[in-house]
Each structure stands twice: as structure tokens, then as C-alpha cells.
Amino acid sequence: MIHSLRKILILGIVALMVFALPQNVRSQQNLDDVKNDRGLNDADVLAAVKTFMPRGGRDEYFSFVGAGNAGSMIVYGIPSMRIYKYVGVFAPEPWQGYGYDDESSLLLKKGSIDNRINTYGDMRYPGLSETNGNYDGKYLFYSDGANSRIALLGLDDFETKQVIQHPLFISCFPGVAVTPNTNFIIQTSQYPAPWDIKSTDASSFKSGITFWAFEEPEGGHAEGHHYGRILKDKSFTLELPAFTLGNFDAGKASSDGYVFGTATKDGKNYVYVVDYNKVKGLKTNEINGFAVASLNDAIAANAVLFIELASSSKAVKVTPDGKYFITASDEAYVFDFAKVKSAMTSASDKVDGISLIKASDALHGSFALGSGVVDFTFGYRKNSIYTSIYNDKKIIRWNYESLKKDKEIALTFKPGNIMIPQGQTETPHSNYLTVTDKEAIYKNYPNVGPVRPSFQHLIDISSDEMKDIYTMSIPQANMYGSVAVLRTTIKPIIRYETGTNSRTGEISDYKTVAGQEKVERKGNRVHVFGTMIRSHIVPEIVHVNEGDVVTFHLTNLERAEDETHGFTIDTYGKHGSYEPGKTASLTFVANRAGAFPYYCTEFCSALHLEMEGILMVKPKGFKETDKGGDVKLTADEQAEYKKNYEAKLKVLSGTQDVINSVVKYLKDNNYQDYPYVKALVEDAFAQLGQAGPVKEKYEKYASEGDYYNAFLWAEQYFQYQVKTADVGLRAKELLTIELNKKKK
Ligand SMILES: [Cu+2]
């Protein structure tokens, strides 16, 4: 009876298990199964294969797109369209501690109108640094349209290095143009405003073009660390009447030295042309401490020309050879630079005193494109240009020399800004084009409420026909323009030299090495000099008084790749990110009494949860009633610690044997011939190099019979050994792979 009951029960459970399987779970054994199940055709599968990135595969390009008003930059790969990084630029970003640690907060405060941190931006059209008209993969620049700032990012570590408040413009166009050797980063005003922030005098409204001088000092660089900076003292602005300024581009090759952009005023539309080498030679006046060249002097020097357009246009792009610049509303105008240049001295009409010509005076030709042109980008086919046409839902490829249409692709959405990797350089190449989707109502997009993500499509332009092969969604971003460079052109660093302030590239005054951790107090000012390394934060206890001004200066001592630690103090509103070698500081007023744990916020090893300590904030008027003092251990406890200490010594010697055998293998096989392996081995030795003073400590305590402290320091020594062994074993594994490759 009992047996049959059990049988029924078991059968029932089995039946439940079978029928409880979700209905959409089914085995997809082969390609045809998957195609049938998901209703995919061959073109879908081909598109998937073109964008799939196998394990270990690397994208061909890095693409950079601003998150718009979120004030950060997004880095993603082409063709996989995988997002690799968000980088805080114009707004704080807590994960990286950007705008939270002292170094980046100072950078953001210095770059604001009133020494306060702005919490958003408006980032649309980035510019990459160039050498001889091609991307060199070193720097990236952004203009903030909302708070009139300019930013410099270093692509050696993908961090923001400089943010400058524009000294004159209240409103900046949210884009930059970079000259062919990165001598100038060009930024313009957008909406006219007085240059005196307190003035509301309508007659003093102006616009202008700023040429930010950029220099990269010779020599003296930390390895992989670029020190190029925008130099405010060497920069200048050309003043213009109250035009609203739009998109612009810098000349290249034959038109190097000029800038071309759109302008509107009183319902009329223009393209402006400025010879900035002539403007550079003019005498300047200082306004708000910034050099300004007057319009009259620029006019007298024939340095500026306006071209009247029939209707407003959204974009201006200079062709890769620099011979033409192109703008369009519905009709594209291809301007011949040689004709424009000669008109600069011969034009007889004027607008606001500036030389003016008609479009027809300087055209190479025009070409009807369709309704609502948004953007242009250049392709690798000779004289090819791609144009996104919003209302017609199309991208057209045409020839700007012959003015003939080549091909078009009908899209399922209204296209916005388009980009071909390297398409704005003197040598466009690439099989891909990306386009923003300004109309996220495509039937396949899931509804996530009234605010939809931004979408970027990947178009395959390798063959004659264009194909839309991938749709990437990006939340928390209103996307506009982007730029992309060959991934291998960028040479990012793996670690900082120990003690680096990543914002300046200099060794920080607050660099702290193992064994030098300390707490310094002067009155109510407390400086904590600490270190982080798997799996300890030193010091582990910090005592302060309520009302003290406290700074934690922390250095990540790791040399291992990707061993970042984070740091936060519970409820104190501060967070820092510490990549290997980085030093950063967190300052706060200890205005909340109590005990506040601090800990590592980045998973760093199996012992990650042990990376913690505590901040004790004594309330005001606190009186110590019990002096406390050193804990006295009983004889039994001391004996127990002695046993633990001796056991630990055995572990240390066993671990040392492992390290020695790894070192022998590495040396026997000439590890130094393999750069990546060599870097790892140097890492491993650096880890062990830190351990010397620790060994001295545990031996000293043991000799004094203090086994409690001897054990604690032996444990610390073991931590260093484990890290050394960990890196050493990785080096051995890599070396073995290299040796096997050689054999084949
Ligand atoms: Cu950690």
C-alpha cells in the first residue's frame, strides 16, 4: 500500500516536471532548426554572421558617440556593435568616481562658469585628433552645447583630461572640428548672446569662432601617456555679428587652413568661410582674459566670406581631397574651393560689412537629393558621398565630382546622422556605415514606455547594394554624430605607473606605497594615506572626530591587468575607482557621527568581501571612559597563535616552491623574448618586491614572542605570494601557448 502510494507520488512529480516546462523551450540543434523556429531567411543569417564576434575576436573599429544630454561618451565596436565603455565627460559618473573624487571634481569645477559642477551636457559631434589628415588615435574632443565648454579626452586610458569653460560664449554649437595636424580645435557659438554674462543689451549680441590651440610637448611622457593639452593662452576667437551658427568642418589638403560652416540671420541662410591663418596673424584685444580678433580687421585682411544659400542646410562636410565642401537642404551644393578662395578677395556684395557671394558664383555643381537631408559622410569608392534623407527614409550614395547618383537604400525608419569609420579623414575606408534612427517605431522594437532608447543601425556598404544588417539600442542617450577609428590605431595602456593622478598624468603628491600608510592630523584636518591591493585596504580602522575634514588618499598597488578596486564609505556620498597604479583622493566633512564601514566596490578576487575597513566618527563632546589600550592575550591564546604562525610558515615555504618552479620555467624558456609575457613577469616580481618589509615584520614579531602580530603579518606576506603566483602562472600559460605556436 505504502509502496504504491509512493509510486503514484513519484509519477505525479515526474508528470509535473514534464508539463511544467515552459512551452517556448525547445531544442535548436542545427542551423535549419533555428532558421525555421525564428522565421529567419538566408539574408538574416548572413547579416548575423557578419556582425557576430567569436570568443577572442576583436572589432575592426572603435566608434565614439556622445550620450547627448547625459554628458558622457559611449565607446562601441564595429561591426559587433557591442558597447565597451561609458566615459564621464561633462557630467559626473559615479562608477568611475568622475566628479566624486577630488582630482576629477577639480577638473569639472575649473571647467565651469562659477566653480560648481554641472550635472549634464549636450554632446553631438565629436572630433578625433589627426596627424597629416588622418586619425592618430591619441585624443578626442567634445563641445558642450548646453554649458558652453570644451573637453579633451585621452585615448591612452579613455579618460577626460581637460574641461574648459568658454570665456566668451554663453551658447556653443555642440560640435568641434579638428585641423589636419590637430593644431587647432575649432568651436563656434550657436545662439547669439552678449559676451558679458551680466548684460542683456540686445545691441551687444554677437557670435564667434574660437580656435583652441592644441600642443603636445616633446618628450617626457610616461609610457603610453599623452600629455597634449588645449592651451587657452595661445587660443583666439574671431568675433562675428549676431548670426546663429550651425554645423561646420575644417578644410584639409588643398583647403587646409580654412573652416566652413552654416549661419543664419534674419531668415537668411549662409555658409561662412574663414581663413584662420590670416586671422591668427591679426592683432587681438583681450575680453575676459581671452584673445579676440575684431571683425573689421578680419574683413580688411580678406579672411572671411559669406555665401548666400537658397534655404537652410543641416550639414557641411569637406571632401577627403579638400577640393570641395558640400552642403544641402533638399538640393546638394558642391562648392569648388578654388572658386571660393578667389572670391574672398573679389566679392563686391556685403552682409553686415562681410564680403558676400551667391552660391552660383562658386559652385562646382548641384544635385537634387530628396526631402530633408540631414548628414553626409564619405566612402572608399572614388569621389563617393553618402547622404541621409530624413523624410524620404533613404540613404543615397552619389558621386560629388560627376554629380550622379550611384545607389540608394530604402530604410524602415527616418535616418539622422551618418558615419563611415575614417570617413571624415583624407583616406576614408571601411565596409560599414552607421546611421542613427530618429524614429523608433519600427515594428520589431519592444515598447518600453513613452521614452524609447536611441538606435544606431549598421549598414553594410562593402558590396554594390547597401544592406541594413544590425540594429543596436542605446539607453540613456540622445544620439547624434559619431566618429570611428581603426581599433589598432589606438594604443591604450594596461596600467598606470604606481601613484599616477590619471587626470594630469603626473605622479600624485599623495602616492602611498606598502608599509607607508599613515593618518596625519592638523587641527580638524585629517589626511589618510592608504593603499589597496587584493585583499586589503590599509589602514583598516580610521578614527576621526565629528566635524573633521577628512581626505582618503588611496593608491591601488596592483600591477596585474584589470585589477581595479572601488572604494566607498557607507552613507558618506563618496565613491572612487582605482585602476592598477592610480592614486585618487576623496574629501568630505565627517559630519555624521557613528561607525561607517568602507569597502572595495569592484569584484577583485575570491577574497573581495574582505577588502573592508571602518571609519569611526566620534560624536562631539565624546569622552573616553575606558582607556582600553592593547588587548592582552592569555597564554593559551598566545600558544594558539604560535601554532597558527608555524603552520603559516609551512604554507609560505610551499607557495615559494611553486613560485620558484614557475620562475625556472619562465627563465629556461626565455620569457623576455615575448613582450606580453615579460610585462606579466615584471608584474609578478613587483608584487613580491612589496613583500620584503612585511617579512621583516613577521620575523621581528616572532623573535619577540608576539605571535598574534607575527601571524597577522605572515598572513599579509601570503597575500603577496598568492598574487605573485597568480600572475606568474598566467605568464607561464601564455608562454606555453607562444612556444606551441612556434613549434607548429
Ligand atoms: Cu577590491
Ligand 1 midpoint to CA 563 (Å): 8
Ligand 1 midpoint to CA 542 (Å): 19
Q: What is the CA radius of gyration of the chain?
A: 32
Gap between the Cα atoms of 251 and 185, Å rounded:
12
Which pLDDT belongs to residue 629? 47
Ligand 1 midpoint to CA 519 (Å): 21
pLDDT at 222 over 80: no
In this structure, the strands spanning 304-309 and 354-358 are parallel
Gap between the Cα atoms of 677 and 669, Å rounded:
11
Which pLDDT belongs to residue 88? 97
Ligand 1 midpoint to CA 576 (Å): 12
Residues with CB under 5 A from ligand 1 (ion): 565, 600, 604, 611
Q: Which fold has domain 374-492?
A: Methylamine Dehydrogenase; Chain H (2.130.10)
Ligand 1 midpoint to CA 531 (Å): 11
Ligand 1 midpoint to CA 739 (Å): 33
Q: Could you count the other beta carbons within 10 Å of the beta carbon of residue 623?
A: 5
Which pLDDT belongs to residue 383? 96
Ligand 1 midpoint to CA 601 (Å): 7
Ligand 1 midpoint to CA 579 (Å): 10
Ligand 1 midpoint to CA 301 (Å): 61
SS (H, E, C) 225-254: CCCCEEEEEEEEEEEECCCEEEEEEECCHH
Gap between the Cα atoms of 654 and 658, Å rounded:
7
Residue carrying the nine cell digits 530618429: 438
Q: How far is CA 622 from CA 545, 550, 617, in A?
A: 9, 18, 10
DSSP 608: G
pLDDT in tens, 93-103: 999 999 999 99
Ligand 1 midpoint to CA 297 (Å): 60
For 115-152, give the DSSP string. Answer: S-------B-B-EEEEETTEEEEEEEEEEETTTTEEEE
Ligand 1 midpoint to CA 597 (Å): 15
Domain boundary assignment for the chain: 374-492, 500-618, 635-743
Ligand 1 midpoint to CA 690 (Å): 18
Query: Which of 337, 258, 334, 243 has its CA nearest to residue 303?
Result: 258
Ligand 1 midpoint to CA 558 (Å): 10
Ligand 1 midpoint to CA 610 (Å): 9
Of 146-150, 182-186, 521-525, 661-665, where does mean pLDDT reach its minimum?
661-665
Ligand 1 midpoint to CA 581 (Å): 13
Cell digits of residue 724: 605573485
Ligand 1 midpoint to CA 599 (Å): 8
Ligand 1 midpoint to CA 86 (Å): 21
Residue carrying the nine cell digits 565597451: 84
E strands present in 446-497? 454-460, 467-474, 482-486
Ligand 1 midpoint to CA 192 (Å): 50
Q: Long-range contacts: 403-406, Cβ < 8 Å, 24+?
A: 403/334, 403/365, 403/366, 403/367, 405/367, 406/381
Query: Which of 735, 728, 718, 716 has its CA nearest to residue 658?
Result: 728
Gap between the Cα atoms of 76 and 347, Å rounded:
46
Ligand 1 midpoint to CA 436 (Å): 38
Ligand 1 midpoint to CA 607 (Å): 8
Q: Could you count the other beta carbons within 10 Å of the beta carbon of residue 616?
A: 14
CB burial of residue 449 (10 Å; 0-12, 13-18, 19+)? exposed
pLDDT at 512 over 50: yes
Ligand 1 midpoint to CA 723 (Å): 13
Identical topology for domains 374-492 and 500-618: no
Which pLDDT belongs to residue 666? 92
Cell digits of residue 744: 607548429
Q: Give yes or no for a contact between 242 and 520, defined as CB atoms under 8 angstroms apart.
A: no
For residue 673, give the 3-state DSSP assignment.
helix
Residue type, 226: H
Q: Could you tell me which residues come within 8 angstroms of residue 120 by beta carbon, excluding any fewer than 6 positions away?
A: 69, 70, 71, 90, 91, 146, 147
Ligand 1 midpoint to CA 59 (Å): 29
- Averaged confidence pLDDT in the chain: 90
Of 110-124, 512-526, 618-632, where does mean pLDDT reach its minimum?
618-632
Ligand 1 midpoint to CA 560 (Å): 12
Query: Which of 279, 252, 436 has its CA nearest to residue 344?
Result: 279
Ligand 1 midpoint to CA 208 (Å): 49
Which pLDDT belongs to residue 347? 85
Ligand 1 midpoint to CA 94 (Å): 17
Ligand 1 midpoint to CA 534 (Å): 6
For 347-383, give the DSSP string. Answer: --EEETTEEEEEGGGSEEEEEE--S-EEEEEE-SSTT
Ligand 1 midpoint to CA 583 (Å): 14
> Per-residue confidence at 152, pLDDT binned at 50, 70, 90?
very high
Gap between the Cα atoms of 435 and 487, Å rounded:
20
pLDDT at 389 over 70: yes
Ligand 1 midpoint to CA 719 (Å): 13
pLDDT at 13 over 90: no
Percentage of residues of the chain with pLDDT beyond 90: 69
Q: How many residues does the chain have?
A: 744
Gap between the Cα atoms of 521 and 103, Å rounded:
21
Residue carrying the nine cell digits 601617456: 225
Ligand 1 midpoint to CA 659 (Å): 23
Cell digits of residue 78: 564595429
Ligand 1 midpoint to CA 600 (Å): 5
Gap between the Cα atoms of 176 and 439, Å rounded:
26
Ligand 1 midpoint to CA 596 (Å): 18
Ligand 1 midpoint to CA 57 (Å): 28
Gap between the Cα atoms of 341 and 358, Å rounded:
14
Ligand 1 midpoint to CA 562 (Å): 11
Ligand 1 midpoint to CA 533 (Å): 7
pTM of the model: 0.84
Q: Give yes or no for a contact between 376 and 389, defined as CB atoms under 8 angstroms apart.
A: no
Ligand 1 midpoint to CA 565 (Å): 4
Q: Could you tell me which residues come within 8 angstroms of residue 400 by beta carbon, excluding any fewer than 6 positions away?
A: 319, 324, 326, 332, 334, 364, 383, 384, 385
Strand partners, 349: 356
Ligand 1 midpoint to CA 569 (Å): 14
Ligand 1 midpoint to CA 561 (Å): 13
Ligand 1 midpoint to CA 167 (Å): 41
> Per-residue confidence at 1, pLDDT binned at 50, 70, 90?
very low
- Evaluated on CA atoms 62, 66, 70, 71, the torsion sign reads positive
Angle in degrees, CA 706, 711, 713, rounded to 5: 100
Please compute the mean of the pLDDT values over residues 1-6 and round it to a whole number: 56
Please compute the mean of the pLDDT values over residues 459-487 and round it to a whole number: 93
Q: How far is CA 314 from CA 249, 263, 370, 374, in A?
A: 12, 10, 14, 6
Which pLDDT belongs to residue 684? 76
Ligand 1 midpoint to CA 667 (Å): 31
Cell digits of residue 244: 546663429
Q: Would you call the peptide bond into 348 cis, given omega within 30 degrees of 0 as the criterion? A: no
CB burial of residue 249 (10 Å; 0-12, 13-18, 19+)? buried
Ligand 1 midpoint to CA 595 (Å): 21
Ligand 1 midpoint to CA 282 (Å): 56
pLDDT in tens, 390-439: 999 999 999 999 999 999 999 989 999 999 999 889 989 899 999 998 77
Ligand 1 midpoint to CA 635 (Å): 36
Cell digits of residue 704: 619577540
Q: Could you count the other beta carbons within 10 Å of the beta carbon of residue 549?
A: 15
Q: Give yes or no for a contact between 435 and 388, defined as CB atoms under 8 angstroms apart.
A: yes
Please give the order of strands across the beta sheet that includes 83-88. Answer: 83-88, 72-78, 61-66, 482-486
Which pLDDT belongs to residue 631? 56
Please name the CATH architecture into which domain 500-618 falls: Sandwich (2.60)
Ligand 1 midpoint to CA 566 (Å): 6
